[in-house]
Every structure is written in structure tokens, then in C-alpha cells.
Amino acid sequence: MKDSGEESVMYYVFHLLPLAKITIPIIILIIFLSYVTAADSNISAMSSMATKGITSENPEAPKWIKILLGLSIGLLSIVMVTTVGIDGIRILSVLGGFPALFLVIIAAVGLVKMLLNGHLY
């Protein structure tokens, strides 16, 4: 695993399974679909946060914003994977979760303020 990486271990394990010629492409397809689904959800959420005028009547951001965010995230992912490898995805995951830390802290402070003031609804 140290010499050839974690990915090669996964492929080796799948080659040991019966019907490996069928199982491996299906697993690659499932991994791809999982990534695309997660990226689509994140892009939709980010584009909604970056757009004014999101209402219940108009819940989606303009398509050009989604396309721009999708291309930038895809390009960043490709660059990180080709330069750093699978560790690039880990780095992006940590960097992506860092801003969420501040949102959780702000929400916790707001909850404490509401508890202290007695304004829970």
C-alpha cells in the first residue's frame, strides 16, 4: 500500500472477488454517481447562497451561476487529484469544512443568547 497507494489495494481486493470484470466497472460507476450527486447538491446550495432574491416562488439560482461554480469546483478537483493524488481530495474536504466551523459557532452563540434571554419560540 505504501508503494502503489490506497487505490491499488482497492482494485486488488476487487480482483479477488468473483465476477471482478463486472464488479469493478459497476463500483467505478457508483463512485462517479456518488461524486456527481454530492457535487450537484453542493453547487445548488452554494449558488442559492450567492444569489439574491431566492424565494419560495423562485427557489433556484440562475443556471449560469451553477455552471460557473460547477466548472470551478470541477477544475479545482482535477488539479488537486492530478497534482497531489487522493490526498488532494482530503485537503479539499478539510478546507471545505473549515468555513462551516464558523457557521456552527455563530449558531451556537445565537442559541445561547436565546436561552439566556428566554426567547425560544
**Domains identified in the chain, total number:** 1
Is there a domain that residue 64 lies in?
A: yes
Is there a domain that residue 70 lies in?
A: yes
What is the pLDDT confidence band of residue 105, given thresholds at 50, 70 and 90?
Answer: very high
What is the pLDDT confidence band of residue 30, given thresholds at 50, 70 and 90?
Answer: very high
Is there a domain that residue 14 lies in?
A: yes
- 105: containing domain: 6-117
115-119: average pLDDT: 80
Is there a domain that residue 1 lies in?
A: no
Q: What is the pTM of this model?
A: 0.58
Read off the pLDDT of residues 60-85 as tens digits, 9 standing for 90 and up: 888 999 999 889 888 887 888 888 87
- Alpha carbon distance 5, 27 (integer Å): 18
Is there a domain that residue 75 lies in?
A: yes
Is there a domain that residue 65 lies in?
A: yes
- For residue 120, what pLDDT is reported? 61
Joined together, the cell numbers standing for residue 59 give: 427557489
